[in-house]
């Protein structure tokens, strides 16, 4: 045993009584916060990691504080209507996000999450990911930013919002402080929506290249979640928690299949990856109840380049190390540590996560997959008008529909709700009278179309319901243009931002024009 190893072991033994005490308060921390918005001292994840001798060097969350003494900023939102920004903080020290501040600031418009602040004090904030080996869809090749209200939840009974990553969305920090480099040990966890994923590369959170480019095997170490099988996979059809170590998603010691990595789909998922010199592990569990299971704990992959590791210390969220950005997922909180956390520390963190009380938020009036619906406009001019496709061409429009309308007109205003073709957590609308044709945007105009099977066409035909902008019904966000929503304008239908270069981005009546009531089908 080396001198260094002996010293590390002695420190952890001395910290054990503190950790046991912290574990006892971990369960109480979440419960105290549920009533007061503040956590018991020493009970939150980064308090527990510090007690275990592996302090947080990055701590990101849009839902709650991750230190019991933290009383600062969680994230920043930018308002589409005027471009102004607001920091969203916590309700009190160690408490939950002040979602009401976001709701008030973003009322009647849309907002994007521009910064996810680091609570560790090291300034490891996450911002819009720049172009790298792959370019993003936003201006200058940057990735998109997440729509701020796209992932509502409750935590400890308090309303909060997660970070909804659609393909093309990503966050990054290439200039960090204190993040592991080379073969230095580290740990990380992320709380994710275990039902929101895809097979794109790569929905990651953790340590990546500082150049935004693939610089070789072993230059990354992140939590990965999804069902891609190109590099590695586990049992079943996925999704799996794996480690992205660059040029390989690993589920165990072997490249490719490893039998001990199961498919997991908890609505709220705790995903853990940790690594040190020739040793790493994957752990995961239900973030609402129960403990963590260990899916792998052993030596580095038996492939050249991963022992020793060559970590570079950037932080990514929702993308791969080279800015590959075709993945989907939802992030609520996560940390990175200095040093290799013990299982006991992680178990204490999991106990706090369970106690925090994550729960889904139900969207009233949302369309149900498999149902037939019609979509009624809510603007004062047009409350008898419904979204339909034209008879003379394939374009979508709004038009008055009533009991005396023709059967053809009623059918043209009726839609079958399908799982989102480009994101199963959202929806697509199949035309009731044109089977196999879907509502999609093309050059911003909506129309019905037979899709060609491409990823682009499927994204164009996918819309994500969320709370309406005017308090009536719902609004439908474009899956691949996070700040654009389905809007009627001059009786045509478009995806439109709140202000922009197109006529249909006009700010007048935007909140009303982007709000739709889901009704019984006309046909």
The catalytic residue positions are 246, 322
Q: Is 153 helix (H, G, I), strand (E, B) or coil?
A: strand
CA distance 140 to 136: 8
Cβ atoms of 280 and 274 within 8 Å: the answer is: yes
Burial 385-423 (b: 16+ CB within 10 A, else e): bbbbbeeeebebbbbebeeebeeebbbbbbbbbbebbbb
Burial 249-273 (b: 16+ CB within 10 A, else e): bbbbeebeebeebeebebbbbbbbb
Q: Is 333 helix (H, G, I), strand (E, B) or coil?
A: strand
**Omega into 473 within 30° of 0, i.e. cis?**
no
Whose tokens are 């503040």? That residue is: 38
H-only helix segments in 55-203? 99-105
Structure tokens at 167: 């393909």
| DSSP summary character for residue 157 | T
Crossing angle of helices 343-356/3-36, nearest 10°?
Answer: 10
CA distance 331 to 409: 42
């Amino acid at each position: 045993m080396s001198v260094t190893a002996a010293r590390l072991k002695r420190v952890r033994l001395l910290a054990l009584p503190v950790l046991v005490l912290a574990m006892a308060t971990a369960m109480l921390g979440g419960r105290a916060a549920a009533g007061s918005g503040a956590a018991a001292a020493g009970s939150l994840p980064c308090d527990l990691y510090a007690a275990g001798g592996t302090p947080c060097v990055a701590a990101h969350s849009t839902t709650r504080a991750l230190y019991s003494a933290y009383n600062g900023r969680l994230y920043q939102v930018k308002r589409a209507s005027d471009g102004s920004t607001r920091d969203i903080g916590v309700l009190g020290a160690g408490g939950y996000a002040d979602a009401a501040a976001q709701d008030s600031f973003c009322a009647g418009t849309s907002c994007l999450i521009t910064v996810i602040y680091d609570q560790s004090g090291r300034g490891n904030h996450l911002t819009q990911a720049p172009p790298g080996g792959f370019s993003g869809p936003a201006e200058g090749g940057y990735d998109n930013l997440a729509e701020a209200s796209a992932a509502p939840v409750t935590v400890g009974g308090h309303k909060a919002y997660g970070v909804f990553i659609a393909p093309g969305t990503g966050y990054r920090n290439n200039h960090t402080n204190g993040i592991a480099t080379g073969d230095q040990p580290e740990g990380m966890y992320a709380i994710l929506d275990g039902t929101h994923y895809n097979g794109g590369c790569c929905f990651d959170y953790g340590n990546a290249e500082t150049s935004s480019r693939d610089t070789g095997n072993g230059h990354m170490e992140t939590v990965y979640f999804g069902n891609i099988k190109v590099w590695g996979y586990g049992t079943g059809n996925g999704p799996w928690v794996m480690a992205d170590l660059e040029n390989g998603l690993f589920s165990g010691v072997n490249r490719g299949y490893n039998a001990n990595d199961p498919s997991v789909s908890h609505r709220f998922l705790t995903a853990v990856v940790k690594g040190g010199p020739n040793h790493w592990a994957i752990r995961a569990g239900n973030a609402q109840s129960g403990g963590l299971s260990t899916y792998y704990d052993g030596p580095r992959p038996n492939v050249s380049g991963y022992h020793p590791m060559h970590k570079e210390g950037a932080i990514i969220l929702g993308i791969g190390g080279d800015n590959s950005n075709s993945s989907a997922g939802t992030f609520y909180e996560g940390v990175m540590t200095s040093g290799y956390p013990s299982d006991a520390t992680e178990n204490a963190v999991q106990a706090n996560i369970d106690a925090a009380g994550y729960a889904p938020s139900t969207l009233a009036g949302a369309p149900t997959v498999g149902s037939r619906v019609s979509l009624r406009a809510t603007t004062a001019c047009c409350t008898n008008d419904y979204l339909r496709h034209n008879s003379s061409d394939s374009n979508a429009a709004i038009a008055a529909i009533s009991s005396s309308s023709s059967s053809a007109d009623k059918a043209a205003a009726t839609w079958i709700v399908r799982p989102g073709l480009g994101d199963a957590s959202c929806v697509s609308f199949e035309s009731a009278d044109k089977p196999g044709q879907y509502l999609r945007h093309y050059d911003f105009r909506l129309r019905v179309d037979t899709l060609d099977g491409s990823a682009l066409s499927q994204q164009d035909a996918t819309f994500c319901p969320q709370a309406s902008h005017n308090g009536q019904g719902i609004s439908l966000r474009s899956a691949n243009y996070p700040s654009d929503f389905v809007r009627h304008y001059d009786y045509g239908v478009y995806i439109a931002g709140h202000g922009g270069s197109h006529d249909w981005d006009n700010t007048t009546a935007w909140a009303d024009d982007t709000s739709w009531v889901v009704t019984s089908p006309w046909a």
